[in-house]
Structure 1
Amino acid sequence: MNDNELRALIKQIVEEETQPGIPIGVSNHHIHLSEEDFETLFPGQKMTKFKNLRQPADFASNSKVTVVGPKGEIPGVRVLGPYRKQSQVELSLTDGFQIGVNLPVRMSGNLDGAPSVTLKTDAAEITVAGAIAAKRHVHMSLEDAKKYGVKLGDNIAVEVTNGKRRLVFNDVVARPREDFVLEMHIDTDEANAAGLSKDSIARIISDNN
């Protein structure tokens, strides 16, 4: 082992000992709805909670819809709460291939020019101009952001070492906010690429802005 390799090994050990692991949340395809669109798809119903999610105030609802594209459909896609100002459909790139939609990789809420899909229930169907593949990101508190030396919108590199396929994710967006809890969000395609399990964790290894 040469000096450079030894320094790299020491740096890795120090980082692993001093930096707590970041929990990884794997996002399956899901939908955010405006209150108006929810009432159209589920007339006379209220959005009810199926389970809480890690981020405060966010929850998975009991409501599900079918997402329809030019080449197919995906049934049973869960609606997440609370209501959003604008409806948004988050799918993996594999989902997009399946239904014939070319998904842009975007941060949540960035829907300009995003393709349209149809959402269908037994009661109604609507067209939503807002289908994206979510860009990977890390939620964190403002204290966490200070500790890691990052700010909102920074691109960071995050390493996953305890999956079946050790992997570094580059271009991960830092999303600090006062009420956020530390958690990395990736989709099912990315999780499968790293062979992640339920107890997998990640560590920030650099700022790659």
Structure 2
Amino acid sequence: MVYYDITQEQLIQMVTEAVLLEIKKAGSNVVPTGISVRHIHLTREHVDYFFGRNYQLTPRKQLSQPGQFACEETLDLIGRKGSIKKVRILGPERNKSQVEVSITDARMLGIEAVLRSSGDVEGTPGITLRGPEGLLVLNEGVIVADRHIHMTSADARRFGVKDGQRVRVQVEGQKPGIMDGVVIRVSDRYRLDFHVDTDDGNAFMLSQGQLVTILK
């Protein structure tokens, strides 16, 4: 018997690739689900501020999208009404620092919930971040991420959709239903994945990796 020394992340990656291959073979409109918890994206400048000049974020585990990873490092979020401790940073660095929360989180912090696509932070609420080197006030950058589906251009052709299009998604299971207004995001850097936050995940009793159907 041959034993292979692989990490849990590598095993998850292998299973994910196998599932996506079977989906493509079947030619169906199903997509795996990724439920995103609250997290922080930082610029190079802000990484330096909290952890020291030229500090390299420490990968904790790989995420569903290629090159994206959760870090060992965390920061606290401080709003007008409350705070949330040890919110995980995601890498790599971004052009703009951004904090993604659920509506439930926003209410806890006392921050207006603004629905945006990731990266679209102009005119959004700010927040205070607390880390090893003290406090940093972001004047903008807090968003509730829009529901969206990552896919490659080949996936888009197969599904008959285009970048920026909004579709409906059918959820099966104990609390079945339809999510509307789901944004299609197309790039050959992406891997097929339906992204929702914890509020949507809980409302439909979704689980990580659960298959949902894009409705034409």
TMscore range, shorter length? 0.7 to 0.9
Q: Does 1:150 align with 2:161?
A: yes
By how many angstroms is 1:21 displaced? 2.6
Q: Does 1:31 align with 2:43?
A: no
Check the 8 A contact 2:29/2:159 in 1, yes or no. no
Give me the CA root mean square deviation.
1.2
Q: Does 1:180 align with 2:190?
A: yes
Which range moves more in the overlay, 94-103 or 44-53?
A: 44-53
The letter of the residue matching 1:171 is G
Structure 2 gap segments, 5+ residues each: 1-25
Q: Which residue, out of 190, 201, 204, partners 2:200?
A: 190
Change (3 A) 1:198 1:111: closer
Give TM-score, length-normalised by structure 1: 0.87
Structure 1 gap segments, 5+ residues each: 1-16
**Distance in structure 2 (CA, Å) of the matches to 1:58 and 1:18:** 27
Q: Which residue, out of 136, 139, 144, partners 1:133?
A: 144
User: Which residue in the other structure is 1:121 paired with?
Assistant: 131
User: Which residue in the other structure is 1:10 paired with?
Assistant: none
Q: Does 1:165 align with 2:175?
A: yes
Which range moves more in the overlay, 173-182 or 118-127?
A: 118-127
**What secondary structure sits across from 1:181 in the alignment?**
coil
Alignment of 1:15-54 (within 5 A): 18-19=27-28, 21-44=30-53, 45-54=55-64
Give TM-score, length-normalised by structure 2: 0.84
By how many angstroms is 1:168 displaced? 0.7
Change (3 A) 1:199 1:25: closer
**Distance in structure 2 (CA, Å) of the matches to 1:199 and 1:149:** 22
By how many angstroms is 1:20 displaced? 5.0
User: Which residue in the other structure is 1:98 paired with?
Assistant: 108
> Residues 96-142 of structure 1: CA distance to partner in whole angstroms, max 9, x if unpaired?
00010002000011111100000101322111211000000000011
